[in-house]
Each structure stands twice: as C-alpha cells, then as structure tokens.
Amino acid sequence: MSISLKKGNRFNLTKNEKGLDKIMVGLGWDMVPGNNMDLDASVFMINGNGKLPADEYFVFFNNLKSPDNSVEHTGDNRTGKGDGDDEMILAHLSKISESVEELVFVASIHNADVLRHHFGLLQNAYIRIVDIDTQREIVRFKLDENYVGITDMEFGRLKKSNGEWHFIAAGEGSKKGLQGYVDLYA
C-alpha cells in the first residue's frame, strides 16, 4: 500500500524499502476542462554545494540521460492527456554519481508568460515513486493547494543523507521559469 505524503513530509526510502534500487518517478496532472498546456518535467542532479556537477546533470526533454546513466527522462508529453503519469523519470539509485546528493524534480509550463498559463489551470497534480522491479507504488504526494499564477513547481526531491535516500514532498511553486531553475543550480 502506498504512503500518502503531505507538503514538507519526508520518507526514508532506504530504511523503509530494503533493497530498493530502480525507481520510476511519475508526475501527473489533469487540465481544468477547456485548457491545454505543455508542462515539462526536469531533474536537477545537484551536489553538496547546491549546484550541478556539470551541465549534463540537468536531465530534461533536450538531455534525456545523465552522464552517469543513472537518471533517464522518458520523453516529453506535450498534451497531458490520458490517465496516469504524464511524464516519467527513471532512476537507478546505486548508479548515481557520488558527487550528487539531491535530485530535484521540477515541472514548468512551456511559454507560460506568453500564453498566460499557470498551475491554477491544473487539477489532480501529483508526484509518485514506484519500485520498478515490483511495479508497486511506494509514495505519492498530491498537490492540493491553489496555485493560481504559479508557472513552475518543485514537486519533490530525493536527498541522500548518511548514505540513505529520502524523498521530500515539496510543492513549492514559483514564477522563475525553467531558466530561473537553471540559473539557480548551474
């Protein structure tokens, strides 16, 4: 049975899921009827200084795989239509470079400013972690706040502490855009 997290909650994947190594991080959302947007999921693999070890550790629709082959974006879903995960990231925890201490999962709305799109036009947004080997959902965090005016969102992060991976439910919205995140972590 999956654990449902609230904003700010932490879940120790290493302690609670013995032997967990390969995960799928799924991000999903539905459009409020009458709307159509293109959301892009990205992963920033950051070191202890809060920065990318190299540009290639920014995994997104134009760089689908990390240089250590531990994280892979499965591709851009431009419509968000259909049930289930809209964008997925695969991670092999034991292969993640020793220099990486956090994986930050972000979704941004393509051309949000020009098109006047924002997260308030979405419903049922979530992030979840699934054990690839068993296909069992481990944790889920549903964004249940009103995010009117917010153009990008840190859904959650995986943080390595004392050799253990913890998932942190973030739900932190902003208006900095994808470039703002790149500037923050580059």
> Are 132 and 43 in contact, with CB atoms under 8 Å apart?
no
Number of domains in the chain: 1
Domain containing residue 77 = 3-185
Q: Which CATH number does the domain housing residue 137 bear?
A: 2.60.60.30
User: Tens digits of per-residue pLDDT, 141-171?
Assistant: 999 878 899 999 999 999 999 999 999 999 9
What would the pLDDT profile of 72-94 be if each residue is shown by its tens digit? 999 765 444 556 899 999 999 99
With residue 177 as reference, give the H or E element that holds it.
helix 177-185
**CA torsion angle 166 140 172 107 (round to 10):** 100
**Beta carbons of 47 and 53 less than 8 angstroms apart:** yes
pTM of the model: 0.93
